[in-house]
Amino acid sequence: MTKGGRHARVTPLALVVRALRLAATVGVFAGALIAGTAVAETPAEFIYRVSHSTFGDIGTYSNTIEPSRDGTTVQTRAHFEVSMLGVRMFREDAARTERWLGNRLVSFHGVTDKGNGPVEVNGEARGNGFVITSSSQGTITAPASVHPANPWSNNFLSSNTMMRPDSGKLEQVRIGSGQETTVKIDGATVSAVKFEIDGSTKYTVWLDARGVPVKFVADDDTGKVTFTLAKCIGCGPEPAQIGTR
């Protein structure tokens, strides 16, 4: 990019901030993940380690799924941090709760702190829409089919409207058809279905034989942010037992 005929200078700090923002909103494509019927009907927890192509390991991300007769509750926790030469450049912590009734999101509450104080995003189903309130976006109404950018369920396939959980911003995405392939997870070759998702950023996700999202990547001009499944509680056999080394 240029400004005034010269190349604009991108500082290391600016690169860090943009990379962490990418990690925070990676769910825009991660909503395109399938968490299998068996997983959706029983308690489960997905725990991911998160890395960046330039900064290495930057944190963790997890989803805890709690089904009940009254619907499904999804608890999300995220922690991202980047340090350079021993100096912390960026830190972000988030806690979010989604409540679902069947395939419809009925409420959302998220608190994200990027070092400047907590920012809340709230949402609730009303009539034929979903009303979202946040400090950055104000109050907006999304389609009833809206999905938070979060990898836990296959019902994303019916919607091309994603909500960024850190800001409440809506984004339109296009989900490609799945392709059978394999992916390396901690040295194991795992059979998977690969999806590519187009939004403001390019995304790729791999689902293993259990329908669990074992890996997903967001790629923009800051580099690649990769989420790799480190532990899957209540999901059945480990990926290494499904694939071959």
Domain ranges of the chain: 9-172+217-234
Question: CB neighbours (10 Å) of residue 47?
Answer: 15
Q: In whole angstroms, give the CA distance from residue 61 to residue 49.
A: 7
**Per-residue pLDDT at 175:** 82
Most distant CA atoms of the chain, gap in Å: 62
Structure tokens that stand for 67 in this block:
């089904």
Summarised one tens digit per residue, pLDDT across range 9-24 is 444 444 444 544 555 4
**Per-residue pLDDT at 237:** 66
Rounded to an integer, what is the distance from CA 57 to the centroid of its chain?
16
For the question of whether the overall pTM of this predicted structure is more than 0.75, the answer is yes
Rounded to an integer, what is the distance from CA 240 to the centroid of its chain?
23
Summarised one tens digit per residue, pLDDT across range 191-242 is 998 988 887 777 888 888 887 888 888 787 778 889 999 998 988 765 544 4
